[in-house]
Structure 1
Amino acid sequence: MKHFYLLFLTLVTLTATAQIPANYYTSADGLTGYELKTQLKVIVTNGHNPQTYDALYTAYVTTHTDNYYENDGTVLDFYSEKPNDTDAYNYTHGNNQCGNYNSEGDCYNREHLMPQSVFNEQSPMVSDIHHVIPSDGSVNGYRSNLPFGEVDIPDFTSTNGSRRGISGSPGYAGIVFEPIDTFKGDIARALLYFAVRYEDQIASWNHTMLNGTSDQVFSDWFLDVLLDWHYNIDPVDQQEIDRNHAAYNFQGNANPFVDHPEWVNAIWGDLTPDTTAPTAPTNLAASNPTDTSVDLSWNAATDDVGVISYNIYIDATFAFNVSTTTSTATGLSPDTNYCFTVTALDAAGNESAISNEVCETTTNNGTGGGVDLFFSEYMEGSSLNKALEIANFTGSTISDLSAYSIKLSTNGNPSWTVTYTFPANAQIANEGVYVVANGSANICGATADLNNDITGFNGNDAIGLFKNDELIDLIGVLGNDTPFAENVTLVRNSNISMPNTTFNINEWTTYATNTCDDLGSHTQTLSIKENRLDNLTIYPNPVKGNTITVSSNKTLHFEVYNILGRLVSKGKTTNGTIAVQMLNSGVYILKLSDGNQQITKKLIKK
């Protein structure tokens, strides 16, 4: 459809070209590599006159108007525009600005291609029109702060074909967002501009798309995506040129990669891959064991480019990743010996050799696991419709909640950033619940303690329930900003009888956005007085196969000891089964516990 407006676009270009001075890029002539990148940073910073965030809506009239596809003067939205077909919906400039939304077509807002959480919503990044574009509110919500990439297995597709889902981009296996081909180059060049304009700050910001440096800026896998979209999928076209001129007129600077696409290759095209691994971390130490955690610390590794994070291994199995040289391993079992090692990672994904190994035994003071309060419902609805429900199936009323607290970690932060303490005299009756909701939430009439700090979560923020400052239940994964429950309600399954310090989505039933029919009550098919373990059986026993079955419909903790008393396996039953394929032939002692009762059984493996 573009060729119908070729003459018109040419006239606009001739008029708008005068806005960018002919000598705008003169000081960059003859430069290449990162020297060119740094000089472009000087050019696009000089003259940049940051505007207000609200002014973007007005500026979109000149920068993002559809004069190219349907040519109807509506808002040009990369996530809803159908270049070769009629759009499913359109927005008129100045109308239907978000606001609340429930589905596509409700309203449009401002989408930060580099998520604003990366730079703490600070100026001038927050209102830089080169990377802040108009977008349907609902699709913007699905994109959230995800990296861009090629989707292999989609879990959401917008009306114009933009998709979210498991990455098909080599080098990254998480969740990504993929726009349609027509606008992939626009987005790539906007992010490359962002890397230039904020070169002096970006090394301190954290996101999957970034590698923690001020030169290459982007992770290897993501840079490959950007270069592919820039070169092969969507080269510069007339609407992007016109948009660049209008953006210059609005805030006084231009995107150099629209005016000079060849400079992308001059800066990033001939990079030598980093194949040198960091040195191994040293002096790993374990300390302060509790029933469920052990503190770890180590000396930093070194690298020819830079270390960006550390992998922590527990008993030779990867456990989690952190960016600091101290951390705490949580979710451990009481009275159990664990051995820890650490490796270092650089921006290219090179992993060091392992550190020294240290081992530590957790305590057994009765605070880990077992029957206790647990999260029974989680509502992450539209706008401020957010609530948490905590259930009590301990067998008695808990009349004083002062020992308990809720903590929130936002945007993949490896530490807890917000703490909620229960108000004085707060209590939960046996088989009752306690609701904490946002003050503006629709809580369906349930009695709630209104708190906007702890209920400021999104679908990628970890939430922990603590007792005596020890984690006892967890929603999400601490230190991981991948969305796990976005725009949904989760209700704990009725067969769950105790908290879990490892988030397991299979313990929850998922409902649609803003579902809160069950908020204020919880049903459990088990109780402390039922399902005694005295008559529990395991079968087959002796066992020749890979699993045994436990005659209980509740989740049980198990430990398997050999005849020398050495712990050889531990975990939780899965749908009433325990895996035993790792056991050699012999006689074992199987210990089973529901947190309140405990029995032992002799187990024979043939």
Structure 2
Amino acid sequence: MKRILFSFVLAFVSFYTFAQIPAGYYDGTTGLTGATLKSKLKTIITNGHEDHGYGGLWTGYQTTDRDYSYENDGTILDIYSENPTAADPYNFNYGTNQCGTYSAEGDCYNREHIVPQSLFNEAFPMKSDINFIRATDGKVNGMRSNYPFGKVGTTSYTSLNGSKLGTSVSQGYSGIVFEPIDEFKGDVARMILYFVTRYETQLSGFSSGNMLGGSAFPGLQAWELNQLLAWNIQDPVSPAEVLRNNATYVYQKNRNPYIDHPEYVALIWGAPVVDNEAPTAATNLVANNPTSNSISLSWTAATDNIGITGYDVYVDNVLNTTVSGTSTVVSGLSSSTAYNFYVIARDGAGNSSPQSNIATETTLPGQSGGTSCGTETFETIPTASGTGYATQTWTNNNITWVATDARTDQTISGKAITIRNGNLTSSTVSGGIQNLSVKAQLKFTGSAGSLNVQVNGVTVGTIPYTSSAPTAATTINNINVSGNVVIKIINPITGNRVAIDDLSWTCYSTLGTIETTKNQSSFVVYPNPVKNNELYVKGDHLSKITKAEIYDLSGKLIEVIINPFKNSNKIQLKGLTKGNYILKTDNISTKFIVE
């Protein structure tokens, strides 16, 4: 709720509110609707528009972006830090706190293009149009990056006033979006609607950014338009917007018509689509490919009148994760344990389906090995000498590390090595690897992604990262490579700068992999790694095994052998490529390596 009456606000800031809607400004709009009205407004707000240049925005903010509606103290009105119902977490003074550099919220304010300038190649007059360029916190502006605006489901970053970055649950879009607080959702919507009106004849030459349309009408992608129309209704025009629109007219000589006449929004684009129809249930849920700590799930997609945005995956009636596709691997499970799974589909409006069928699977017995083998905390990396990227080399615990295209000035738990377009590689390490854990965090701008982890040149898993500092390391289990190994962590996404910290791994130095059957007899495969495509097996009652199956780590079935040990204890592998595989028999499963 606004804390200062509009009449009081107008009186207090009368020194720059004399510019009301000019007489006749919207002449010629009566009776128009749809694309015709939009084009008429484009002509009106283009005529008289004065471009004061990109640097001129700093001057414009002296009157357009000052707080005379909340604290009423003349500080910068920042939609990413303003708290409408309590004290702000910090305040910026006009001019004094202008960016500059920043590393945290509250350091300084800069110029936030609500429609990213990368979409129009930083061209003028768009680059300096104050109608959609706000004075906002530099850090939050950087976190918002060039993502579209939408409703966030899973959050990866939250500003101090509650603005959020994360995975979209806006109907029709599942990418990364930025969501302002409720107080400013309508403000953002009307600024974007202004943009696609003022520059409608140029939209075909702009990039979409997953928000803009490629034609003058409607001017936006369907999902974004529907979200903005909903926000326009949810958060009506505020006194603060009216004050800014009047000040903008004094500075730039044009106005946002959707602040002056909110009814124009519905006349042009209609009402937002309201979705009250729940999706159907997902079907044919199957649980398979168990390991000692994970089980694979797949299912047939649900259907919806608008579109499915994700599936909630439940393990023993507890929500485990949400995914956008129709398969996933549930990890972190206990060995030799039966689990029940089901999924629930959701659409962009938040409607949920009935639950799918229940699938049951049991994890395999735990594997051998597992003693701590090595750690790297990065506390002894070279001292930062500026912010440039170069090859960094250091030795710790008798292991030499080489990081290419790397910098050393960032932190996670403590010092961290930050990789741009390179990798982190160890010297040869003895003792093998069973499990590997590491923390990763996106620094500066970019999008969430994953690092690739290789052992002896073979990819054994990935480490996900977002811009939020991880509270715990991500673990890749059951790597199970014996002997001497080289660890390599690769950043495959050009331009993302990813910090790495708290790397550790457990040993796996046995010559064979010992599994326990249901009747506690031993089962060993050797040699491991396999030599000459010949895999030998030692154990009790081998001749009674009726079937052996060989899978790769993605769960793809490679080969089936009936009565594999009827005549010998050897399996002749059929030209498997270098990598890790799983041998699964009637009641036993174990990993082996092909070099």
Per the TM superposition, whether the score is higher than 0.5 is yes
Is this contact kept in 1: 2:416–2:500, CA < 8 A?
A: no
The answer to whether 1:571 aligns with 2:561 is no
Cα 1:593–1:63 change in 2 (3 A) is farther
Trace 1:261-276 onto structure 2 (pairs within 5 A): 261-269=262-270
Partner of 1:361: none
TM-score of the superposed pair, with normalisation by structure 2: 0.56
Aligned match of 1:486 in 467, 478, 492? Answer: 467
After superposition, the C-alpha distances for 1:423-456 in whole angstroms (9 at most, x for unaligned) are xxxxxx995414324699899999999999xx99
SS, match of residue 66 in structure 1: coil
In structure 1, distance between residues paired with 2:66 and 2:466: 34
In structure 2, distance between residues paired with 1:69 and 1:590: 77
Is this contact kept in 1: 2:419–2:491, CA < 8 A?
A: no
Paired residue type of 1:436: D
SS, match of residue 28 in structure 1: coil
Paired residue type of 1:53: Y
TM-fit CA distance, 1:263 = 0.8
Partner of 1:209: 211
Partner of 2:220: 218
In structure 2, distance between residues paired with 1:144 and 1:491: 26
TM-fit CA distance, 1:89 = 1.0
Partner of 1:124: 125
Partner of 1:235: 236
Cα 1:516–1:596 change in 2 (3 A) is closer
Trace 1:285-434 onto structure 2 (pairs within 5 A): 385=387, 431-434=400-403
Trace 1:67-106 onto structure 2 (pairs within 5 A): 67-106=68-107
Which is higher, the Rg of structure 1 or of structure 2? 2
Cα 1:602–1:187 change in 2 (3 A) is closer
Partner of 2:31: 30
Corresponding residue pairs, total: 424
Is this contact kept in 2: 1:110–1:135, CA < 8 A?
A: yes
SS, match of residue 467 in structure 2: coil
SS, match of residue 134 in structure 1: strand
In structure 2, distance between residues paired with 1:126 and 1:181: 26
In structure 1, distance between residues paired with 2:416 and 2:271: 61
Cα 1:538–1:105 change in 2 (3 A) is same
In structure 2, distance between residues paired with 1:432 and 1:594: 31
SS, match of residue 553 in structure 2: strand
Aligned match of 1:435 in 399, 404, 407? Answer: 404
In structure 1, distance between residues paired with 2:143 and 2:29: 39
Tell me which protein shows more strand as a share of its residues: 2
Partner of 1:164: 165
Partner of 1:460: 447
In structure 2, distance between residues paired with 1:485 and 1:35: 44
In structure 2, distance between residues paired with 1:181 and 1:123: 31
In structure 1, distance between residues paired with 2:516 and 2:574: 14
TM-fit CA distance, 1:586 = 5.2
Partner of 1:141: 142
In structure 2, distance between residues paired with 1:64 and 1:188: 17
Aligned-residue RMSD, C-alpha: 5.7
In structure 1, distance between residues paired with 2:524 and 2:252: 67
Cα 1:442–1:89 change in 2 (3 A) is closer
In structure 2, distance between residues paired with 1:168 and 1:192: 21
Paired residue type of 2:250: N
Cα 1:549–1:49 change in 2 (3 A) is farther
In structure 2, distance between residues paired with 1:8 and 1:599: 70
Is this contact kept in 2: 1:459–1:487, CA < 8 A?
A: no
Is this contact kept in 1: 2:406–2:419, CA < 8 A?
A: yes
Is this contact kept in 1: 2:16–2:63, CA < 8 A?
A: no
In structure 1, distance between residues paired with 2:527 and 2:388: 35
Is this contact kept in 2: 1:98–1:108, CA < 8 A?
A: yes
In structure 1, distance between residues paired with 2:475 and 2:268: 53
In structure 2, distance between residues paired with 1:475 and 1:56: 44
TM-fit CA distance, 1:196 = 0.9
TM-fit CA distance, 1:181 = 1.5
Q: Calculate percent identity across the aligned residue pairs.
A: 38
Is this contact kept in 2: 1:472–1:501, CA < 8 A?
A: no
The answer to whether 1:259 aligns with 2:246 is no
Partner of 1:60: 61
TM-fit CA distance, 1:244 = 0.7
Is this contact kept in 2: 1:49–1:251, CA < 8 A?
A: yes
Unaligned ranges ≥5, structure 2: 275-324, 328-376, 423-441, 453-457, 480-485, 536-548, 565-570, 589-595
SS, match of residue 243 in structure 1: helix
Cα 1:211–1:583 change in 2 (3 A) is farther
TM-fit CA distance, 1:148 = 1.7
Paired residue type of 1:213: S
Paired residue type of 1:57: W
After superposition, the C-alpha distances for 1:280-312 in whole angstroms (9 at most, x for unaligned) are xxxxxxxxxxxxxxxxxxxxxxxxxxxxxxxxx
